[in-house]
Amino acid sequence: MASRSTRQSNSESQRSIRRSSRLNNRQSVASGTRSSGIRRKREIDHVELPQTKRRKVESKPATSGARACNTESSEVVIPRRSQRITPSRLIKREQELLKKEQVYKQKISELEAKNESLTTKVEESAVLISEMKQREAEAALAQLEEHFTCPLWHESVDCPICRSLLVITPDRTPRLDVTFPFVPNRTAATVCESLIEKLGKTSTGCSLAVKREDSEGGLGSEWNLERGRKRGQTKKESENEDEDEDETDLRLTVWRQGGDLRREWQKKDKEGKREMHNLLKNWTTMQAHDFIAIKQKLGV
């Protein structure tokens, strides 16, 4: 019995020793983990976070004028080394500038050629317009002389429209108003007045003077305005042509505003209308000597 009790006490003491060793091991493991966690936390606290760079905010100018004035100050300063240009780049820039210069010179020459051709065309058109007006004036004058001029005294008066013979003037007085032989031709009067007005508005064809610069060269036209004649004409032909033109201009000048023939025509037109009014007024009582006086007064 004594041996059994000793064995039991030994086994219990061994068990208690084992339990205490296990507890010690557990405490040591827990303390180790705690110390490692504290160390890690301290290391994390001591780690410095990367600082972010702050962007500089430039103050915007209040007005547009201030913006224009502060452009230089607001620009970023570029280092001198980056501003240096290499020789190859300089050569390239010079070549580009030379090409642009050649292009601009070509454009200038083209514009000068166009300007010269336009000047030539304007001068030629001015000459043609003046010649056309000259021909129109000559045609109007020829029409007036051929169709509306007659210095004769006609015994029998025809109708101006159908050219039929009108009533012969009776010798006995008092005459009837229906026997008055002068019928106004409104169409002929309108045409005559329009032609005379056209002569009054026509300008002289030979008085054309085109202003040219001293630096301009010879024109490519067939007209040589400096010499006043066509190319290829002889001096004698040009002189004869100039004489004919002067004679034609003289004939047209007297029909322009203030010309002698124009003033004479206006005077005769007024006098003729007045004489026609008096003739119509005294037609019923006129005698033979009254008609003779009218013929002598008119000079026919």
Helix (H) or strand (E) holding 64: helix 64-69
**Structure-token match 């003077």, residue found:** 209
Across-strand partners of 158?
Answer: 165
Asked if 144 contacts 195 with a C-beta cutoff of 8 angstroms, the reply is yes
Q: What are the two backbone dihedrals, phi and then psi, of residue 165, each rounded to the nearest 5 degrees?
A: -70, 130
Asked if 103 contacts 110 with a C-beta cutoff of 8 angstroms, the reply is no
Helix (H) or strand (E) holding 224: strand 223-224
Q: Could you please report the per-residue DSSP string of 102-121?
A: HHHHHHHHHHHHHHHHHHHH
Could you tell me the pTM of the whole model? 0.44
Cβ neighbourhood burial of 205 (10 Å; 0-12, 13-18, 19+): buried
Give the model's pLDDT for residue 218: 43
Q: Which two tokens stand for residue 277?
A: 């009014």
Q: Could you please report the per-residue DSSP string of 202-219?
A: PPPSTT------TT----
End-to-end CA distance of the chain: 202
Cβ neighbourhood burial of 224 (10 Å; 0-12, 13-18, 19+): middle
Q: Which two tokens stand for residue 176?
A: 């009837």
Q: Which two tokens stand for residue 254?
A: 């007297």
Question: Which portions of the chain are predicted below pLDDT 50?
Answer: 44, 47-48, 61, 63-66, 68-69, 72, 204-228
